[in-house]
Structure 1
Amino acid sequence: MKYDFDKVIQRQGTSSLKWDYAGERFGNKDLLPLWVADMDFESPEPVVDAVKKRASHGIYGYTGRSMSCHESIINWMKKRHGWGIKMDWLTYTPGVVPALSIAILAFTNPGDKIIVQTPVYYPFFSVIKNNGRQILDNELKLVDGKYTMDFDDLEEKIDSSVKMLILCSPHNPVGRVWSKEELKRLAKICVEKDIIIISDEIHSDIIFKGSRHIPIAALSEEIADRTITCIAPSKTFNIAGLSASVAIISNKGLKKNFDNIVEGLGIASGNVFGITAMEAAYTHGEEWLSELLNYLEDNMNYVKEYIDENIPEIKVDKVEGTYLLWLNCKGLNLSQDELKKFMYGTAGVALNDGTTFGKSGEGYMRMNIGCPRVYLVEGLKRIETAVRGVRK
């Protein structure tokens, strides 16, 4: 391997949300942080080199996006996902969550209902509520250890006040990579009910063997005509702090409305280093990503085997995508508050509270495996030791 993902890099003292603010958030300064979704790996060498080269220039004025930047995205989507997109479909935003908020402002009115499929990435809730819209929960079903969409529930709940669905694809936190059949059925409902689809595909490059990500807008022109697809290099290449993402919108009318909000908010210009890193990542990052996926899959297998063998009170299934595992901790027989105190206090491991993803997250915690394996070894040992105390 060209890249060393076992390399431990000191992140304390860099204002890292994951490391420097975990103690403040979870009430224990000695926590091992396996929570927020950024990775503890250096970004690809071509990305680091591009940022260094740009920084060495010494002038960081207003920066546009070159044709090569646009083409890097177009080529990446075609090569990785088989989706042919065009330059005039692209609108740049400072992040996927801001893009969700922009879409809500552009395509819904206060009081409208927006569908989410819980348990789901918790900022979905805040962008809906904070913009004065209502959440409609179409809870996922857990069938034989696998989460699926509940289409019957969805169709039953839809009424004339439902204007939008926010799709998490691949799904965070349960790790599903939706099949073509699932996406087609979901899209069919949205077409019939005249519902706009906002597809958060930020994890679309983190896909494991045996699965394939399909952009929902790539299914047909009819579906693309009502879809805003949100992507970013941030999760894939560990550059979330550079605030660079893209909304892909083929419908000219939808794009005009979306762009009007972007312009109105004054957020179209972008960050010079985000622009630089995005182009470098999508142009030169594929070799690094290939090695990363192998490492992440080995991490997933390690965690699964360790928990199965040593902590049977906790259940975990392998995921199809993302570097996040959804731990079923119900076997510990603890309330959610007790579970949090147990993980943060007794075990000394920072994991995401399952209930922040919706009420169906009761009894669950989310673990980030995007780190050198030594951290997972230490974290799992801490949890196992704590569980032994509960067994007594």
Structure 2
Amino acid sequence: MNLDTLVDRKNTDCVKWDALQEVYGRDDVLPLWIADMDFKSSPKIIEALIKRAEHGVFGYPTTPKSVFKPFIEWNAKRNGLGIDEEWILTCPGVAVAFSIGVQAYTKEGDGVMIQTPVYPPFHSAVKNNNRIMVENELVEKDGYYTINFDDFERKIIDNNVKLFILCNPHNPVGRVWKKEELEKMADICLKHDVKIFSDEIHSDLIFKGKKFVSALSLDGKYKKILITAMAPSKTFNIPGLYSSIVLIPDKNMMEDYKKVSDGLAIGEITIFGLTAMEASYKHGEEWLANVMEYIEDNAEYLDTFIKENMPEIKYRKPEGTYLGWLDFRNVFSTQEELDDFLINKAKIGLNSGETFGRNGEGFARINLGCQRAILIDALNRIKNALYKG
């Protein structure tokens, strides 16, 4: 598998390459924004999908237990997780799941806490459901982010917080939270009867030397306040197949979640989503290992290029995810100036930092799940626009 091989994604109805005019106001930007990869998915997944398509009948699917077995075994092997099949529900996407969670575990006017800067749908899931968005802003020092636990607890008490949406690994800052950090947050939530929704969609995308700790692996006492979501979508580059897994150990929390999801008629995933999910966890390990090695090399290339060519820009390699968080605050005084520079001068499409929260202003998120040639092109565009004006 040669990951350097360019794949032409234009005119395939993909958001990343075909929605540039709508997103950036021009169609000549090089896109390194939305979090899907430019690599072909695992040949084993493609093979399974072709085999299923050749059957030719695509009626309403049931969800066989055979789909969950590889997922359970995958997590036992990689993360030491003991997952009970009774905890499992399916969902089209993790963002759908945490939006359901907001409706299931809070009521209008309740506080829902997020840790900014964070994935924009966290914001919209709270605001669009008429809940109060409460921000526990992460603390940044030299590109490394930590949690202000005093602020975390104070915000919970002062704002009637009923649900905390955790991002682990964290998008966009790339932290893989340590066990002690997770336990400290979980203790505070347990103390104040706050439910935790742990978005673990990037949990298989972990850099060498780092270990992912799922909220589900913590002490059993936390399971009565915990809902977790995972998916093969980011891991195996199949987000367009809309297949995710929701894990709810507590029966009462399960009932509350199902009441909302059933009421909205949301929960089932497609035949092809089921097929791809099973094939991913059965056969995807070697493919993923190759992809992660390539992404880590991309992160190393980005780090070296910035230090050698654009030292005003600050970047710290992530602990997980295939995303980079670029700090332009030494170069531009406003997000508007930064966005204009990237789009209209450098002509590259990144995610604007302010969409992740107030403390994302002056930053941009870059997608490292691309061929090296695309990354090199993007970095040279930034350098040339920065120094040649």
Interval containing the TM-score (normalised by the shorter chain): over 0.9
- Give the equivalent residue in structure 2 for 1:336: 335
Give how far 1:145 is off: 3.1
Cα distance in 1 for residues equivalent to 2:74 and 2:84: 12
Where do 4+ consecutive residues of structure 1 move more than 2 Å?
none
| AA matched with 2:106 | T
What's the counterpart of residue 302 of structure 1? 301
**Which deviates the most, 361-370 or 262-271?**
262-271
For residues 121-147 of structure 1, give each alpha carbon's deviation from its aligned partner in whole angstroms, at most 9, with x where no partner exists: 010010111111110000000134310
Give the whole-Å Cα distance in 2 for the aligned partners of 1:46 and 1:109.
Answer: 44
Match of 1:166 in 2: 165
- TM-score, structure 1 normalization: 0.97
Aligned partner of 2:353 in structure 1 is: 354
Which segments of 5 or more consecutive residues in structure 1 lack a partner in the other structure?
none
| Cα distance, 1:333 vs structure 2 | 2.8
Q: For 2:335 and 2:65, how far apart are their aligned partners in 1?
A: 50
Whether 2:347 is the aligned partner of 1:386: answer no
Paired with 1:137 and 1:268, the residues of 2 have a C-alpha distance of 29
**Correspondence 1:70 to 2:68:** yes
1:71-112 Cα distance to aligned partner (Å, 9 max, x none) = 111111111111100111001011000000111111111000
Q: Which residue of 2 aligns with 1:176?
A: 175
Whole-Å Cα distance in 1 between the matches of residues 333 and 27 of structure 2? 23
Q: Given the alignment, which residue of 41, 44, 47 partners 1:43?
A: 41
Provide the rounded CA distance (Å) in 2 between the counterparts of 1:359 and 1:177: 22
Tell me the distance in 2 between the aligned counterparts of 1:162 and 1:217: 21
Q: Deviations over 1:26-70 (max 9, x none)?
A: 012111000000000011111000011101111111111212101
**1:199-278 superposed matches below 5 A:** 199-278=198-277
* Counterpart position of 2:187: 188
SS at match of 1:247: strand
Partner of 2:319: 320
The one-letter code of the counterpart of 2:95 is V
Which range moves more in the overlay, 375-384 or 260-269? 260-269
Match of 1:13 among 11, 14, 17: 11
Question: Identity over the aligned pairs, expressed in percent?
Answer: 47
3-state SS, counterpart of residue 331 of structure 1: coil
Amino acid at match of 1:298: D
- From 136, 146, 149, the equivalent of 2:134 is 136
In structure 2, what is the Cα distance between the partners aligned to 1:186 and 1:154?
8
Report the secondary structure of 2:234's partner residue. Answer: helix
The normalised TM-score by structure 2 is 0.98
Residue 58 of structure 2 is matched in structure 1 by 60
Measure, in 1, the Cα distance between the counterparts of 2:191 and 2:360: 30
Cα shift readout 1:289-330 (whole Å, capped 9, x = no counterpart):
111110000000001100110111211001000000000011
- Structure 2 regions of 5+ residues with no counterpart? none
What residue identity is the alignment partner of 1:62? Y
SS in 2 for 1:314: coil
Report SS of the residue matched to 2:116: coil
RMSD: 1.0
